[in-house]
Amino acid sequence: MRRSVGLGLRREFLPEVMAQQPAVGFWEIAPENWIPRGNMAYRQLDQLREQYPLTCHGLSLSIASPDPLNEAFVLQVKTFLDRFQIDLYSEHLSYCSAQGQLYDLLPIPFTEAAVDYVVARIKRVQQLLERPLVLENISYYAAPGQEITELQFIQQVLEQADCRLLLDVNNVYVNSINHGYDAKAFIASLPSERIVYGHIAGHSEEAPDLLVDTHGSDVRSEVWALLDYAYQQHGVFNTVLERDFNIPPLAQLLNEAAHIESAQQAIR
């Protein structure tokens, strides 16, 4: 499989991965799942890194939280990235804490004031990390206090913070159905030069106008088509297949990830 196709690494897959060295271009890991685990886990990652590139996709930076930025945590992440020579660290353009962990990704209000607030925090994170921060567009189900569009919000944050974008194609599709906008127009309006890599995943349909981003099923045909369109608009970018629930055997995930490779080859 091409180096531009990745999978999220689950620890239960690790023995199989180390023994069989499947054809995966790179593995995406969550630093929060590895930092506390100590020397044995680090030795496993050292072995893995000898065979595959690694990227990091974080879970708890909470870039838009009303709480003060957890700079000690950011420095922990930097130490981890430096230790394993990982260049890309991505997170969610959202927040998940407010005087305590909320265990969900909440949408940032689409306002000019929120842009200013988030941009300042992103700049500080990038200063501490000594590398660009890559932020993912999230799925959201309400937009309280909205003054500008989701697209305008993302465009302004990327430009003013001089950060990068993780384009989650499934999230664009889910939001386009739930909030009634044109997914292709949304993707076409994103700045190509900011897109570092992408995600694709499955979702559930609760109603014709209500989709839920679950990462718990196979990718739908409409989302595959939107990934093709994103490649046509922005060129081929590294893409990760996400699966967090109802996880099938690794061989089945590899078969689905091969669909990404086919889409990339068609564009190339």
Domains of the chain in start order, with CATH, are 5-267 (3.20.20.150)
Matching residue, tokens 């005087």 = 99
What confidence tens digit (pLDDT) does each residue in 114-128 have? Answer: 999 999 999 999 999
pLDDT score recorded for residue 3: 82
247 pLDDT band (50/70/90 cuts)? confident
Residue 200: band (very low, low, confident or very high) from pLDDT cuts 50, 70, 90 = very high
Is residue 118 a contact partner of residue 64, using CB atoms and an 8 Å limit? yes
Q: What is the mean pLDDT of residues 248-257?
A: 94
102-118 pLDDT per residue, tens: 777 889 999 999 999 99
Are residues 201 and 240 in contact, defined by beta-carbon separation less than 8 angstroms? no
Q: What is the pLDDT of residue 12?
A: 86
This prediction has a pTM of 0.96
Tell me the C-alpha distance between 45 and 257, whole Å. Answer: 22
Q: Which residue has the higher pLDDT, 243 or 101?
A: 243
Q: How far is CA 268 from CA 158, 228, 261, 262, in A?
A: 27, 11, 10, 10
Burial, 44: exposed, middle or buried (Cβ in 10 Å; 0-12, 13-18, 19+)? Answer: middle
Of residues 40 and 48, more confidently modeled: 48
Specify the pLDDT at position 69: 97
